[in-house]
């Protein structure tokens, strides 16, 4: 073949090879299974992230590979907004938490999503008790051994008690406001920039009490640095069986930390049912229960209907609490 005839031949061969490569690439792309993702609206390493990774590992056999995508920021609003705006095909789901779905809608003047309408519930995952704790030395000095003692002291000494929280509108702040309202007492709220600084202030005796996450407070309770007066769940926690619930003194008091799985609104019901079945099985596995226990977390495997009703009731509860506290973020 001479040079004149070879060049058109070469050009045609390259074109055909390119078409074949594109066709093969398209075929391979179609053949690749889609990977499900769980969006966690908080940074890696925290309890929400750890539990999401645990259940993602447990559903591999039924749902295939599930990856975790962390999107922290704006109190969880950035990640949750990404869940709301994802395609409603069941391939992108995420975590809904007490902050993102019950507190933030009343705390922020502008929200990028509607917590009540932009999501399809899958299942609640976890409940973590909060606990009312005092500096042990302060409790001893003031002769406070029970929740009733704390309320009695506050009424007899108005304005002398204060409590810490991780910031205005935080779960600890709102639990304190609920407690004050139901107990009919006053205690000055002192907000800190996060839960750890608030706990350090309590340990050093700068503040008198706070409502802390049980997982964060447990080591100091066990060491005797903090005195646990009551847990905030409706009933006593199996993790602190000797510590009464606030509700034993103040009827109806209940506030705890929770999170669960949601999909974008519009996700087909049969897809939600499949996801719910898989994740409930994961939550009920002995491995999950054992791992959750190390985080002081109680697995809550609920149906989509139960989780939806629960979130609705939590939104109504926190609307009253946030408005009564006057807390605002922006």
How far is residue 9 CA from its own chain's centroid? 64
Nearest to 102 by CA among 266, 315, 317: 315
How far, in Å, are 80, 119, 260, 312, 319 from residue 305 at the CA level? 20, 12, 13, 11, 21
Q: How many CA atoms lie within 13 A of 233 on its CB side?
A: 21
Both tokens of 69, joined, read 């995508």
Instruction: Tell the CATH topology of 130-248.
Output: D-Maltodextrin-Binding Protein; domain 2 (3.40.190)
What residue spans of 135-239 are helical by DSSP H? 136-141, 147-156, 171-183, 195-203, 214-223
What are 1-31's pLDDT values in tens digits? 555 554 554 455 544 545 545 444 444 334 4
Q: Rounded to whole angstroms, how far apart are CA atoms 56 and 113?
A: 25
Both tokens of 62, joined, read 């039924």
Contact between 196 and 188 (Cβ < 8 Å) = no
Instruction: Tell the CATH topology of 36-128+257-325.
Output: D-Maltodextrin-Binding Protein; domain 2 (3.40.190)
What is the average pLDDT value for the chain, to the nearest integer? 89
pLDDT number for residue 193 = 86
pLDDT for residue 220 is more than 90: yes
Q: Sketch the domain layout of the chain as residue ranges.
A: 36-128+257-325, 130-248
Q: Rounded to whole angstroms, how far apart are CA atoms 50 and 281?
A: 18
Domains 36-128+257-325 and 130-248 belong to one CATH topology:
yes
DSSP 8-state symbol, 42: S
Q: What's the pLDDT band for 296 if we cut at 50, 70, 90?
A: confident
What are 46-75's pLDDT values in tens digits? 889 999 999 999 999 999 999 999 999 998
């Amino acid at each position: 073949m001479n040079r004149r005839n070879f060049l058109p031949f070469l050009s045609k061969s390259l074109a055909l090879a390119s078409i074949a490569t594109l066709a093969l690439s398209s075929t391979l792309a179609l053949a690749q299974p889609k990977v499900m993702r769980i969006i966690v609206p908080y940074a890696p390493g925290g309890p929400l992230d750890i539990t999401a990774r645990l259940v993602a590992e447990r559903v591999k056999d039924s749902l295939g590979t599930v990856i975790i995508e962390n999107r922290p920021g704006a109190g969880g609003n950035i990640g949750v907004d990404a869940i709301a705006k994802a395609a409603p095909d069941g391939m992108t789901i995420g975590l809904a938490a007490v902050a993102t779905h019950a507190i933030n809608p009343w705390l922020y003047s502008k929200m990028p999503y509607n917590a009540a309408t932009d999501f399809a519930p899958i299942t609640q995952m976890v409940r973590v008790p909060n606990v009312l704790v005092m500096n042990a030395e302060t409790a001893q000095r003031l002769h406070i051994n029970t929740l009733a003692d704390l309320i009695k002291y506050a009424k007899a000494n108005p304005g002398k008690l204060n409590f810490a929280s991780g910031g205005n509108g935080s779960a600890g702040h709102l639990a304190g406001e609920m407690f004050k309202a139901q107990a009919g007492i006053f205690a000055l709220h002192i907000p800190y920039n996060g839960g750890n600084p608030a706990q350090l202030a309590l340990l050093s005796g700068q503040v008198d009490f706070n409502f802390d996450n049980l997982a964060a407070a447990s080591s100091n309770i066990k060491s005797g640095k903090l005195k646990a007066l009551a847990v905030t769940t409706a009933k006593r926690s199996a993790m602190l069986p000797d510590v009464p619930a606030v509700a034993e003194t103040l009827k109806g008091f209940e506030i705890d930390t929770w999170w669960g799985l949601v999909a974008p609104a519009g996700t087909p019901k049969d897809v939600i049912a499949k996801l719910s079945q898989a994740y409930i099985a994961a939550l009920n596995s002995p491995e999950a229960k054992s791992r959750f226990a190390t985080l002081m977390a109680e697995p809550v495997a609920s149906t989509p209907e139960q989780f939806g009703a629960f979130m609705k009731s939590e939104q109504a509860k926190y609307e009253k609490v946030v408005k009564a506290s006057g807390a605002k973020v922006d």
